[in-house]
Amino acid sequence: MSGAVPSGKTIWLIGCGNMAGAMVSRWLDTGLDRARITVVRPSGTPVAEGVRVVTEVPDAPPPAILLLGFKPHQLDAIAPNVTGASAGASIVSILAGTDLETLRRRFPDAGGIVRALPNLPVALGKGVVAMCGDRSSRVDALMAPLGLIEWVADESLMDAATALAGSGPAFLYRFIDALARAGTAVGLPADQSQRLALATVEGSGLLAASSSLSPAELADCVASKGGSTRKGLDVLDADDALVRLLTETLAAAKTRNAEMAAISRAG
C-alpha cells in the first residue's frame, strides 16, 4: 500500500457506510497507515482504532484522494461543503446511480474523478470494483487490494456492471439460501443443508476461478450422461430457465440503476 498515495498525503472519506467501511477494513488489513485516513461523518461514530473521525470537513489542505461514501441523495447537500477539499484531489465516488457528468458539475476543481462500484467482498480482498472515469496510477494502486478491478470504457455500461457485480452478491446469497432450503425439502436437516450449500458454493467458486475451463464446461464435467446431476441440470436448462430468470433479475437492477442516475442528474 505504500505506493497508493504519495508520502505525506492523506485519504479522506466523506461518509463511511457499509461499503466504504468494508474498503477501509481491507486497506488497513493490507498495511495502509491508519494515520493517513480521515473519515468525515456527522455522527462521529468510530470506524476503526487509530482512524481519525471528524464531524465536519477539516480546514486543511485537500487530500490526495477524496472518497465519496454517503447516500447518493445527499450529494446536493454535501457537495458545497466539500468543494474546498476537492480542489486538486482525485475523487473516487461510490455513489450508486451518480454519473461522471453530475460529479464534475459538483466538483469542477477536482484533480480527476472516478466512479467506483464495489461489492461487499472487498472486505476480504475478493471483491469486484467496476470503475470508469479519469484513471490514474494512484487510484489503481489504492483499489488493487480490494479484488478484481475492471475499468469500463463506456460509462453507459456501468449500470449493467453494477447489476451483475454490485448486486450480484445479494442474488448469490438468495441462491445459497434457496439451495439450502431445497436440501431441507428433500429431507436434510436445515442446519446441515445450509452448511452443505455454503461449502459447495465456496469450493465450486474457488475451483471455477482457478480452472482453465469455463463454468459451463465445468458443469458438464460434473454431469455424467444419464446421471443424477444431468437430470438436475435438465431442469435448470429447460427453455434456458435459469438464464432467463437471471437475465430478468439483472435487467430489473439495471433499470433501477438508470432511474437513480436520471434522478441524480435532475438534481
pLDDT in tens, 174-210: 999 999 999 999 999 999 999 999 999 999 999 999 9
Using alpha carbons, list the distances in angstroms from residue 103 to 134, 151, 255: 12, 18, 21
pLDDT tens column, 45-102: 999 999 999 999 999 999 999 999 999 889 999 999 999 999 999 999 999 889 999 9
Residues across the chain? 267
State the helix-helix crossing angle for 190-210 and 168-185, rounded to 10 degrees: 130
Q: Could you tell me the three cell numbers for 136? A: 490514474
pLDDT tens column, 1-44: 444 554 556 899 999 999 999 999 999 999 999 999 999 999 99
CA–CA separation, 55 and 44 (whole Å): 5
- Comparing C-alpha atoms, which of 157, 103, 107 is closest to residue 130? 157
Q: How confident is the model at residue 258 (pLDDT cuts 50, 70, 90)?
A: confident
- Comparing C-alpha atoms, which of 183, 188, 179, 192 is closest to residue 236? 179
Percent of the chain predicted with pLDDT > 90: 87
Q: How confident is the model at residue 263 (pLDDT cuts 50, 70, 90)?
A: confident
pTM over 0.75, yes/no = yes
- Counting Cβ atoms within 10 Å, is residue 136 exposed (0-12), middle (13-18) or buried (19+)? middle
Query: What phi and psi, each to the nearest 5 degrees, are found at residue 154?
Result: -105, 115
Q: How confident is the model at residue 267 (pLDDT cuts 50, 70, 90)?
A: low
Radius of gyration of the chain (CA): 21
- Comparing C-alpha atoms, which of 55, 59, 106, 103 is closest to residue 85? 59
Question: Which amino acid is present at 81?
Answer: N
Residue 96 CA to chain centroid, in angstroms? Answer: 10
pLDDT tens column, 142-183: 999 999 999 998 999 999 999 999 999 999 999 999 999 999
Residue 221 CA to chain centroid, in angstroms? Answer: 31
Q: Could you tell me the three cell numbers for 149? A: 478491478
DSSP H/E element including 202 = helix 190-210
Say if residues 66 and 89 touch (Cβ distance below 8 Å).
yes
Using alpha carbons, list the distances in angstroms from residue 28 to 10, 37, 43, 49: 14, 10, 22, 10
Q: Could you tell me the three cell numbers for 97? A: 446511480
First to last CA, the chain: 37
